Every structure is written in structure tokens, then in C-alpha cells.
Structure 1
Amino acid sequence: MASFTLVDVAVVKGRETEFADRSKTNFLASRKEAGNLRFDVLQSRDDPAKFVLVEIYGSPDDVKAHKETVHYLEWREGVADMMATPRKGVQCTCHFPSEPSALLGFWNTEPCGWLPGAMDLTLETASSCSWHLSRCQLCKLGNKSIRYSPLPYIVAVFNCSLWVYYCVITMETTNQDLTPNGLINAAGALLEICYVLVFIRYSRERASVIYQALVAIGLFWTCILFFEVVLPLLPDWNKHWDFHWGGADVPLKSSLCGVVTDVLNVALYGSPLVVMGTVIRTRSVKYMPLPLSVFTCLQSLLWFVQGSLLGNVTVWLPNALGIILGAVQLIIYAMFCRSTPEARDVENSLTLSPSCVSTQPLAAASA
């Protein structure tokens, strides 16, 4: 994580020529680049690690191509709320959906039309770390998450945990070795729990996130209670219902659990396709990250091979569907990747409002 300290200085009035004069005393004017953005910076001559990010020019293509999208509008609204009640040490972050590289932050000294003018704010620290890992970014804006639902992550915790349970009960009653499946899904469950905790930490609707998490926990333990307590009390089911999902030697409990995990797994594999309408309408694939689609195909292919070697339909069937869903995502990406607006096409004259900018990426994976 890169960490930078913004020095305590008064707001510099005017444009670039005026703060170039100021830089002759304590600061050195320079221009830095971070991802698709360019920053005009006043860097301390005494301590190079301290600088004031003065103005930002250009922005990711989201702003030009989709100025009226809810992401941009909520970002403006959030910054306006922050500026309405300035306080020392205020930090906020900005949502740039298509920006996978690290951003620093900026200090804007020029009044904007939708704000009452540049305000005397002291931003004491700014840190950013952006790493595009997988299907979704969770960004915080003024200590709130922006229209990202925690539900996919909560469902992923449910799915991975149920896979661990399935592997344990199946290995207890059969000779199938599902140790890799269990270990990988255990790691995935821990990772997804971390993501849910991030949602809880930064969401203003914290109670709603906690409620959804508690519902998922309740559903998980309801399933466990059914498989471990209720199902054994129904001997006729085991006697008369010849249902062996996952292999001829797989008992009913494992078979039913496998069906539930398969449904959840297919839903998670196909989750990037929920933005297909947006991709087709905007002719832009920035909301459909390529790494996720590639690894969906690759992961599905590997698990499909493993499931086929084991002869376990619970493993190979959802991953066969995952290969198809991943291929559909890659086809859609290939169709619209060339029509996605480039960052260089963005108007360089656009100046945004004061804030510290950082993006916090999150990844969600299921085996």
C-alpha cells in the first residue's frame, strides 16, 4: 500500500500559473500520472514524501461515456455532502469502476459550478491501493459503499461453506478423495468472509448488510440441521428414494447437499452475465472484467476434469455449465471490447472536486 502525507497548507486561489509562483518558495510544481489520470502536484522541497495534489485533469472513460450514470452522480453527491460539512482530517474515496490501477488523491483549488467554491480543507493523509483481482470492486465514498450489493459475497460464503460440508460427509461414506475441493472452498469461505466484513465496515446501511449475513448464516445452519437431524429421522426416504447424485455409492444426504451446492455454484459462475444488458446497451465491457471471465473458463475446465476422473456429477456438472457461461462471457467481451471508449478519449479539461481518491478492489471466487 502506498501512503502519502498531504501537508497542511491553505487553499491556493487561482489557476496553475498562480500556484506555480507559490511553488518557488516551499513547493516544487510537477505533474504525475496514476493510471488514466494526470495530477498537477505541489511537492515539498524539504520532504519529498509530502505533497499537495492540486488539480486532476482527465478521468476514466466512465465519466465521459456515462456522465449520467448513478456511479458518477452518487460520487458528485457524496463529495458535495462532504464539502458541505468540512472538517479536519476528512477522507473520502471515489468510485471509478473501470480503473484497475493505483490512484493517489488530489487537492483541487478551483471552484466548481456545483459547489460554493474551493474550501479551506486540510486533508492530512491519503492512501490508496487498487488491484483488480476479480469480478467486482467495492469502493467507499465518504465512508459508504456505492450501490454494490453484499449479497454475492454472502452467497459465496454460503456456497463455499456448504461445499466444505459436502466434501466432508461424502468422504466419510465413500472412497472419493475430495480433499482439494474442501481445502480450496475453506480458503474461499474465509476470503469471502473478509469481503463481507469490509462491506459491514464501510456501508452506511450496516444493519441491512448484517441482516443479510445473519439470514445466510441461518439458512446454512438450517441446511445442516436438515441433513444431520431431520433426514435421518426419515428412513423411508433413504429406503425408497433411489437418488444418488454424485455417484452410485453416494448416500442421499450427500446427494441432496450436492444439488444445493450445484445450484449455488452455477449462479455464481453466471453472475457476471447480469451486466450483459449494460454491456450491450453501452457497447462497453468495462463492467465485465476480462480476468474473471478467463479464470471462470479455466477454473471450470480444471474442476470439470477432476470431477470427470472421480465420476462425481456434483463436481463436473456445474463446472461444465461454468465452461459454457465463461465462454459466453468471453464471446460478449470479444464483441464489444473494441467499441469500449478509451481513456485517452476523455476530455482533459474536466476538473473534478476536492477529495482523496482511492479504490478498494475485492475479489470473490468459488471453487
Structure 2
Amino acid sequence: MKSVEEFKPDPYVATILNCAMWVFYGLPIVHPDSLLIITINGVGLVIEAAFVTIFFIFSNNKKRKRICFYLLIEIIFMAAVVLITLLVFQTTQKRSMFVGILAIVFNIGMYTSPLTVMRMVIKTKSVKYMPFTLSLFNFLNGVVWVIYALLKFDINVLIPNGLGTLSGLVQLILYAWFYRTTKWDEDDKAPAQQVQLSEI
């Protein structure tokens, strides 16, 4: 039976809120001329929603309840942010500032959400439940957005993605450091062995 084992949903659920916040930030009523921010984060939102759905399907009941709870909180929070932004702030400058600050906070949250896994990596000296691709793409994502932020000089994009680049780099260093001490199960090694056998 397929299972998510000890993998945590935290980074993926955090990314949903992050993408939703940036999509809202990029709307013309909040921060005009931000089509790139909307499209990239819109695609990210769809991808993360699909990923969380798959994660949900293969999770046990405890993790499913946790995912549902987090998503409910995120929906309520986003609705409150939209209402406050549209009702309280009358100019796009003020809306950009308010939503930008929140987007910074949640972008940092997205990048640091693997800290829960990083703590387990250090404690167990194993990277078994720290997906390499997540760490790599967190790092690459941060680098690309830092370049974008420097070109357009958008401080709201620069701050969290600069920190995200550092967080991704730390994750990659941890992965490299503890990869050799990781005890892999036979199930983890099976695909690699099958590839080797099929090549012979």
C-alpha cells in the first residue's frame, strides 16, 4: 500500500498560502503591473493544490485531519486579508504595502517550513524524509526571484526570496552532509537496483 510515511505536509501547505498571497498581491487592484507575479504564483498554486491532494489521498487519518485544519485556517485567513485590504485601504500604494508585508511573512514561512524536517535530519542523521528536489527547487526559486527583484527593485520580493535562497542553501548543505549516514530501506533502494538490472 502506498503511503506518505513520515513525510510532513507542512512545506506544501505553506506553499499554498504563499502562492495565494502573491497572486492577490499581483492583482491590479493591489499592485498594478505585476502580471509575472500573478502567472507564476497562479501556476504554483495549482501545482501545490494538486500535490497536497495527492499527499492527502495517501495520508493516514491523522495527517488528513491536520491538512484539512491547515487549509481551513488558510481559507479563512485569505478571506480576511482580502476583505481588510479592499475595505480599509483605498489606494494601491497602501494595499501593496499591507499585502506586501503579509506576503513577505508567508514567503519566509514557505521557505522555512522545511525546518521541521531539517530538525529531524539533524537528530536522526538521515535525509530519508527530506526530499532533495524540494530543497533544490526552493534554492533555485529563491535565486530566480532575487534576480527578478533586483531588476524591478521590488523590496517585497527581494527580502523573503533572499532569505529563501539562504534557507535552500542550508537545506542542500544538510542533505550533502547527512546523505552518507542515511540508512535507506530496501524499498528505497529497489528502484535504483531495478534500473541497474534492466541496463545489464
Residue 290 and residue 213 in structure 1: after superposition, are their counterparts in 2 closer, same or farther (change >3 A)?
closer
Q: Once the two structures are superposed, what CA deviation does each residue of 1:166-193 show, in whole Å capped at 9, x if it has no partner?
A: 0113543xxxx42222101111112222
Shift of 1:321: 0.5
Shift of 1:309: 0.7
Q: Answer with 1 or 2: which has the greater Rg.
A: 1
1:284 aligns to what? 126
C-alpha distance in 1, partners of 2:12/2:23? 17
Name the SS of the counterpart of 1:284 in structure 2. coil
Task: Indicate if the aligned counterparts of 1:304 and 1:315 stay in contact, CA closer than 8 A.
Answer: yes
Residue 223 and residue 265 in structure 1: after superposition, are their counterparts in 2 closer, same or farther (change >3 A)?
same
1:185 aligns to what? 41
Identity across matched positions, percent = 33
Indicate the structure whose relative CO is greater, using CA pairs within 8 Å and at least 6 residues apart: 1
* Equivalent position amino acid for 1:230 in 2: V
Shift of 1:273: 2.4
Q: Which one of the candidate residues 14, 17, 21 is aligned to 1:155?
A: 14
* Equivalent position amino acid for 1:219 in 2: F
* Equivalent position amino acid for 2:61 in 1: R
Shift of 1:331: 1.7
1:127 aligns to what? none
C-alpha distance in 1, partners of 2:141/2:177? 23
1:297 aligns with 2:139: yes
2:182 aligns to what? 340
C-alpha distance in 1, partners of 2:48/2:39? 14
Q: Once the two structures are superposed, what CA deviation does each residue of 1:194-251 show, in whole Å capped at 9, x if it has no partner?
A: 334445555535566444423221110100000001233xxxxx8xxxxxxxxxxx71
1:224 aligns to what? 82
* Equivalent position amino acid for 2:79 in 1: W
Structure with greater proportional helix content: 2
Q: Once the two structures are superposed, what CA deviation does each residue of 1:307-350 show, in whole Å capped at 9, x if it has no partner?
A: 01101001111111011111111221222222223557x9xxxx
Task: Indicate if the aligned counterparts of 2:18 and 2:106 stay in contact, CA closer than 8 A.
Answer: yes
Q: What does 1:98-137 correspond to in 2, within 5 Å?
A: none
C-alpha distance in 2, partners of 1:196/1:341? 27
Residue 190 and residue 281 in structure 1: after superposition, are their counterparts in 2 closer, same or farther (change >3 A)?
same
Name the SS of the counterpart of 2:137 in structure 1. helix
1:272 aligns with 2:114: yes
Unaligned 5+ runs, structure 2: 189-200
* Cα root mean square deviation, aligned: 2.7
Q: What does 1:1-367 correspond to in 2, within 5 Å?
A: 93-95=1-3, 139=4, 150=9, 152-168=11-27, 169-172=29-32, 177-198=33-54, 201=57, 204=61, 209-232=67-90, 251-341=93-183
C-alpha distance in 1, partners of 2:101/2:107? 10
C-alpha distance in 1, partners of 2:69/2:141? 32
Residue 213 and residue 330 in structure 1: after superposition, are their counterparts in 2 closer, same or farther (change >3 A)?
closer
Residue 208 and residue 318 in structure 1: after superposition, are their counterparts in 2 closer, same or farther (change >3 A)?
closer
Please, what TM-score do these two structures have when normalized by structure 2?
0.78
* Equivalent position amino acid for 2:23 in 1: V
* Equivalent position amino acid for 1:158 in 2: L
Structure with greater proportional strand content: 1
Name the SS of the counterpart of 1:251 in structure 2. helix
Name the SS of the counterpart of 1:229 in structure 2. helix
Name the SS of the counterpart of 2:181 in structure 1. coil
Residue 273 and residue 200 in structure 1: after superposition, are their counterparts in 2 closer, same or farther (change >3 A)?
closer
